[in-house]
Amino acid sequence: MTTPRSDALAEPVERVGKGWTVSLSLANVAIWVGWYGPLQILLARQAGDFAPGAGMSKETLLAWVTGVGALVSLAANPFFGALSDRTTARWGRRSPWIVAGTAGGALSLLLLAGADGLWLMMLGWCLVQLTLNAAFAAVTAAVPDRVPRLQRGAVGGWIGAAQILGAVVGTGLATATGGIVAGYAACAVFTLAGVLPYVLRHRDLSLAATGRPPWSLRSFARGFWLSPRRYPDFGWAWLTRFLINLSNALVILYLLYYLRDRLLPHSRTSSSGGTPIDDPEQGVLILTAVDSVALLATVVVGGIWSDRVGRRKPFVAWSGVLMAAATALLAAWQTWPSAIIVAALLGVGLGVFMSVDFALMTDVLPKASDRGKDLGVINVANALPQVAAPALAAPIVTHLGGYRVLYGVAAAAGLAGAVLVGRIRNVD
């Protein structure tokens, strides 16, 4: 078991070992399995089952459920991050929230498995978002707590790899188990078990009671607003992450429906775009796997490279440009071969972006005492696109031009995020 530093608020200087990085990465995999199993497959299946009884299309029902769940995520991540900043438990600031959050997430996934209609489905997904965001806020804050600045690109790379591995494992569990109930149960078990090596093997840093600021509801609430004028680098970093994540969310949200309703029927009738894939769920799994292989090839390398040269912005900017170009290609060339090419290009770009952007975000945090809360505010840039994406995508797909327009809008958002990275001044 590792020994914690005496000061939980000190800037870390001692490099973390491979065991710590592997355990934290596995905890991230577990949390992302709890999210991506439902998002990639299970929620879409349930939306298809419940849509006729709810009197709406499956696309609209899925948009409502994921959108409301994302609203919960928006509030939960910074809220629980702030609570973990103030926690003085003997187990540390972060570990109690990791354990409680994943246990609650597993139970919420089982509740979601038993949903028999729209409202219970929505309640279950909101509880999944609430609980897993409590765990994720604590897991994320462990990096600036323990990792020195010039190692954060590498650690961010492994955490980025964990996210995509979580997507693959979650999608695989949801697909391989066959039924909805079995899929949710498998994701629940994996989510809870995956965090145990980290919390059992690596002792968390403890915050002394004297280090906790006096309680004030007003100051606690006001702390969630970080003025872009006072902290401009933080503001620009937040906006770039939001735009690039919005682009990615627009691509992912209706992927199953895109394959089922647009791409595969078109490919079967086209002499130039034929495909042997008849099952759209299998198609999602194949594209996710292609994306994952490409991402894994770049995510750790990109982070290590960024650490070695001591620069962040060029990596984030050019990875955003590559993802925007790939998304534009998906809008212009809608065949199964093009989907595979786009998945590979998105994986390459996203791999570099995920590792280096994470390191960049930790470099612009204003205060050591608020790391959990401030990273929670940054993570809003991950959750808010889940709210904005359904609101944008549903009317575009159904009334404003379909998937070509949808992916064109996604490309424009990603390109804007890549360009605005240049406005960050105090990080190279």
Six token digits for residue 44:
């879409």
Distance CA 39, CA 32 (A): 10
Q: CATH homologous superfamily of domain 18-201+227-423?
A: MFS general substrate transporter like domains (1.20.1250.20)
Among 392, 386, 393, which residue's Cα sits nearest to residue 71? 386
* Helix or strand run (H / E) with residue 106: helix 95-113
pLDDT value of position 275: 52
What residue has token string 């409502």?
64
Strand partners, 2: 202
Assigned token pair, 406: 């949808």
Per the document, the length of the chain is 428
Distance of alpha carbon 144 from alpha carbon 147, whole angstroms: 6
Residue 6 sits at φ, ψ, to 5 deg, of -70, -30
Q: Can you tell me the distance from the alpha carbon of 200 to that of 23, in angstroms, rounded to the nearest whole number?
A: 10
Alpha helices in 38-94 (DSSP H): 43-54, 58-86
Question: Of 390, 380, 385, which Cα lies nearest the Cα of 64?
Answer: 390
Contact 290, 343 (CB under 8 A): yes
pLDDT in tens, the chain (428 residues): 444 444 677 778 889 899 999 999 999 999 999 998 998 889 988 988 888 887 788 878 888 898 888 889 888 989 999 899 888 888 888 999 999 999 999 999 999 999 988 899 999 999 999 999 999 999 999 999 999 988 999 999 999 889 878 988 998 898 888 789 999 999 999 999 999 999 999 988 878 776 777 766 777 777 777 778 888 999 999 999 999 999 988 888 777 777 777 666 555 544 444 454 567 777 887 888 888 889 889 999 999 999 998 889 999 999 999 999 999 988 887 778 888 898 999 999 988 998 899 889 888 888 877 888 888 888 888 778 877 887 888 888 777 777 888 889 999 999 999 999 989 988 87
Q: How far apart, in whole angstroms, are the C-alpha atoms of residue 180 and residue 165? A: 21
Q: Give dist(CA 203, CA 95) in Å, integer.
A: 8
Q: How far apart are CA 302 and CA 158, in angstroms?
A: 10
Q: Dig out the tokens for 307 from the structure.
A: 């650490």
Nearest to 240 by CA among 416, 358, 69: 416
Other C-beta atoms within 10 Å of 311: how many? 16
Element (H, E) at 319: helix 313-332
